[in-house]
Each structure stands twice: as C-alpha cells, then as structure tokens.
Structure 1
Amino acid sequence: MSSIVIALPKIEDGKKIRTILSRYGFPAASVCSTGSHALAKMSELDCGILICGYRLCDMSYSELADCLPDYFELLLLASSRVINDMPQSVLSLEMPLKARDLVNTVDMMLNQIERRQRRRKKKPKARSAKEQNYISNAKMLLMQRNHLSEEEAFRYIQKSSMNSGTNMVETAQMVLMLMLDEIE
C-alpha cells in the first residue's frame, strides 16, 4: 500500500497538510521537519509520495530528491518564483496551497504508483541460468529426437506447459526425464 511522508520546515504546516489529506481519505504515515528523518521513514515503507518543502533545516529538496528511494515520488511545495526556476520533471504545487489542488495531485500520483506496481507484478520473473539451461536442453533434445526446429521445440514446451498447468521449467524437466528414461 502506498504511504505519504510529509517533510516541511515547520512541523505545524506538515500537520495541517496531514489533516487535509486524512479528511479526504489519504493517511499520512509521517510528518517530519528534516530530510534525514523523512529518508528514515521512507526506508520503512513499501512505496508512496514524499511531500516536501523547498528547503528543510538539513537539506534542500534537490539533495533529498537525489537520495529518494526508487519506490517514492516527490511532490514539492514551493513559491511560484521557485517553481518557475525548476526543471519540468519536478512535480510541484504552488504555495499558498489550495486543498483541492493538493488532494487531486496526491490522488493522481497514488494512482500512477499503483498502476506501476500492477505492471511490475505482471512482468514475468527472469529465469536463472539453471532454469534457462533446462529449457535449452529440452529444446535440443526435442530438435534431435523429433526433428523439430528451435521455434517448434520451444512452442511444444510452452504448449505442454499450458496444458498441464505447470511452468515451462518444470515441463522442460519432465521432457528431459521422459526422453532420457527412454534411452536407458
């Protein structure tokens, strides 16, 4: 689940933002006034958003952004003068803050994070060298014994895997065992 960490120089401002967010159903995990405390809190969480000010007592937003974990997004709260001098890649909201803008931006960011996580979960895991070796050996055996092309052998393993409800590595292992048992 995504979390929200708020890091602003004045802890009272952070608490006000947390109140606004919680009123709209976005629970903030932590409110802090230093970048180091924000980084420590983020390291305990799975993913989320860091809402921070331009300058904290121990570091600026850019130093904090450089240390930001990959699984966190940054939302900068700053004056219009600061925002105008900022790169386009930094997502920011102008101070003084409108609650509607904050809630809509946080909602959009959390939706993006959730979509990214779903895509990452759908992505198949990379096979180890050992697993890849099983598939390659089974393909070679099928190519030699059944006179199949490499693509046909791969498709055979893939189709057998789908039909039996096992993964391709297990199917390749079964093909190897069956064919090697016939030789003995």
Structure 2
Amino acid sequence: MLSIIVAFPKIDDAKSIKNTLIKNGFEVNSTCTTGAQVISITDQLDGGIVISGYRLSDMYYNELNNYLPKGFEMLLIASPTKLAESKESNIVCLKMPLKINDLLNTLQMMTYNYTRRKRKEKQKGRTEEEKAAINKAKQVLMVRNNMTEEEAHRYIQKNSMDSGINMVEMAEMILNLL
C-alpha cells in the first residue's frame, strides 16, 4: 500500500498539508519535522511518497532523498529560487506559494505511477508455471484465431482487465474452453 509522509521543519506546515490531503481522499501515514524521523518511518514501510520542504532541522531534502529506501519517491515543495538550485532528476518539485490543485494533481500523478510500477514488479514475479500457462494460451489463440503473439497477449490482457481477474486465471480459462 502507498504510504505518504509529510516532512517540514514547522509541524504546523506539515499538519496543514496533511489535513488538506486527508480532506481530499489521501491517507497520510505520518508528519515529521526531521529527516531522522522520516528515515525511521520509511524503514518500516514498503514504499510511498515523502512530501518534503527544502530544509528540515537536521538535513536538506537531497540528503534525505539519498537515505530513502527503495520504493520511495520525493515531492519537494520549495521556493522558485531553491528549486532552481535543485539538480536531482528523480525528485518531483512544486514551487511555493503552493496551490492546492497543483499539490493534489501532482500527488495523484505520483500515486498512479507508483501503483503502475508496483503492478509491473508484481507481474515480473510470476512463476514458471504461470508464465507457461500464459504462453500456452497465447499459442492456442495464435493457431485458432490467426493472431500474432502481440494480439494474443493483448486479447488475454484486455479480457482479464474487463472481467477483473488476473492474466494467469484468464489464460487458464482460455485453455479450458479451447
């Protein structure tokens, strides 16, 4: 599950952003004022987004970003001059003064990308038997319906999404029907 952590040097700023996010349907795990707190919390979580100011009481955003475990992304909120200094390519940035719609849209985009990436990682974790079932179903579709491999793959993928079951189950259904 996606975890959101808000980290700003002033706890009131962090709570304000947290409340805004909660009002708009996001679940915020924690608010922090130091990088050490963020690191301690992220070490216990699977992955997510850290929304951070430019400088926390014990470290700058780029130091914090270097300490974040794999699976975490950073959203930096800072003044335009501080953002101009930022040379990190893997950090999403928003300039101050913060517009709520910009924050919500950016977080929504980051959430979408996070879930998409997690889904791809999960797909890569298929067993050999599951991969074999999908490949066999593709072969059957290719022979019976005169499809290319790509068309057969899309067919299985689309039908699995439309019916709300995973691709392995859809492949097994195709094999059982044909």
TM-score scaled by length of structure 1 = 0.67
Please give the alpha-carbon distance, in whole angstroms, between the structure 2 residues aligned to 1:78 and 1:124: 38
Partners of 1:84 and 1:106 in 2: CA distance: 21
Alignment RMSD (CA, Å): 2.5
Q: Residue by residue, what CA displacement relative to the aligned partner does 1:118-171 show, whole Å, maximum 9, x if unpaired?
A: 0000014588xxxxxxxxxxxxxxxxxxxxxxxxxxx9xx86xx9xxxxxxxxx
Identity in percent: 44
1:147-162 matches, within 5 Å, as none
Of structures 1 and 2, the larger Rg is shown by: 1
Which residue of structure 2 lines up, in the alignment, with residue 6 of structure 1? 6
Gapped regions of structure 1 (runs ≥ 5): 128-154, 163-184
User: Aligned runs of 1:12-161 on 2, under 5 Å?
Assistant: 12-87=12-87, 89=89, 90-124=91-125
Measure the CA separation in 1 of the matches of 2:7 and 2:68.
13
Deviation of the 1:95 alpha carbon: 1.1
Instruction: Provide, for residues 84-136 of structure 1, a one-character-per-residue CA deviation record: whole Å limited to 9, x for no partner.
Output: 12226121111111110000001100110000000000014588xxxxxxxxx
How far apart are the structure 2 equivalents of 1:80 and 1:67?
Answer: 24
**3-state SS, counterpart of residue 91 of structure 1:** strand
Where in structure 1 do 4 or more consecutive aligned residues deviate above 3 Å? 124-127
TM-score by length of 2: 0.69
Q: Deviation at 1:10?
A: 0.2
- Determine if contact 2:62/2:88 at 8 Å carries over to the other structure: no
Q: Which runs of 5+ in 2 are unaligned?
A: 140-178
Q: How many residues align structurally?
A: 135
